[in-house]
Chains A and B, each alone.
Chain A
Amino acid sequence: DIEMTQSPSSLSASVGDRVTITCRASQGMSKYLAWYQQQKAGKVPKLLIYAASTLQSGVPSRFSGSGSGTDFTLTISSLQPEDVATYYCQKYNSAPLTFGGGTKVEIK
């Protein structure tokens, strides 16, 4: 099975900073990758990006995704207070639809 590794596991940045989160797959998987935001553990996850770079309807344009194959990136161009959350990548090319371990984003 393909393993998904996210880095860093946590980060702290200032409002307005550019933030980058990386997700690496143990095998190539084209662009079958999604990013989710979970504002607190136990709260409902929200789909941000699918197909590696397609923004889900209603998601602010400061969020963007890139990559294909094994290396993917989620970028927040200008961090806002409401972006404090844990972010997860997920592969969905085939089962199991594995999630990465998560990246917790905090405000400095």
Chain B
Amino acid sequence: EVQLVESGGGLVQPGRSLRLSCAASGFTFDDYAMHWVRQAPGKGLEWVSGISWNSDTIDYVDSVKGRFTISRDNAENSLYLQMNSLRAEDTALYFCAKSRSRTIAAALNYWGQGILVTVSS
């Protein structure tokens, strides 16, 4: 059974940093691209970032470029999102999601439960 478990969220002040983690199990982690998707309170889904199976291809939504860094450790079956210079508008539930393919260009067929990040002073 595929499981994706996010951790590392919480309340953080504007301008500070936070690192999210996603522990994956139940599938061959290094065969698939992975993504982060977020949902602000009462809003729709927003794709944040994706990383290919071997980390060769990485992309971000424009609003987080230069502030967020996605990475993965295939030996540890883990996905990460380093979030720096956080803003109030980054407040959201962050989902880790598995791609159907090794590349970023594929649908997301499994999702974690999400982890809440609140940016507020």
Contacts and interface: CB of A to CB of B under 8 A. Distances in A.
Contacts, number: 69
A100 B44 CA distance: 8
B113 interface: yes
Given A95-B59, A96-B61, A38 B109 contact: no
Interface stretch (B7-15, B21-29, B80-88, B98-106): B98-106
Q: How large is the interface on B (under 10, 10 to 19, 20 to 34, 35 or more residues)?
A: 20 to 34
Interface of B: 35, 37, 39, 42, 44-47, 50, 59-62, 93, 95, 100, 104-109, 111-114
Given A42-B39, A88-B44, A97-B35, A47 B50 contact: no
Interface residues of A, number: 28
A45 B97 CA distance: 10
